[in-house]
Structure 1
Amino acid sequence: MIRKEADVVWRGDGKTGQGEITTQSKALSGVAYGFTSRFEQGKGTNPEELIAAAHASCFSMALAFRLAEAGFQARELKTKAVISMEKEGGGFTIKESKLTLEASIPEIAEHKFKELAAEAKANCPVSKLLNAKIILEAHLMKPTY
Structure 2
Amino acid sequence: MESEIKKRFLTATLSVILFAIIYSCIFYTPDFGFFWSILFASIFASPIYYFIGIPISLLIDIGMKNIEIKSKKVKYHLSFGMYSIAGILAGVTFFIISTQSFLIKEIIIFSTIGIIASNIYFHVSLMLSKVKLNQYKMYT
TM-score, normalised with respect to structure 2:
0.35
Q: Which has the higher contact order (CA 8 A, sep 6+)?
A: 2
Give the number of the structure whose alpha-carbon radius of gyration is greater.
1
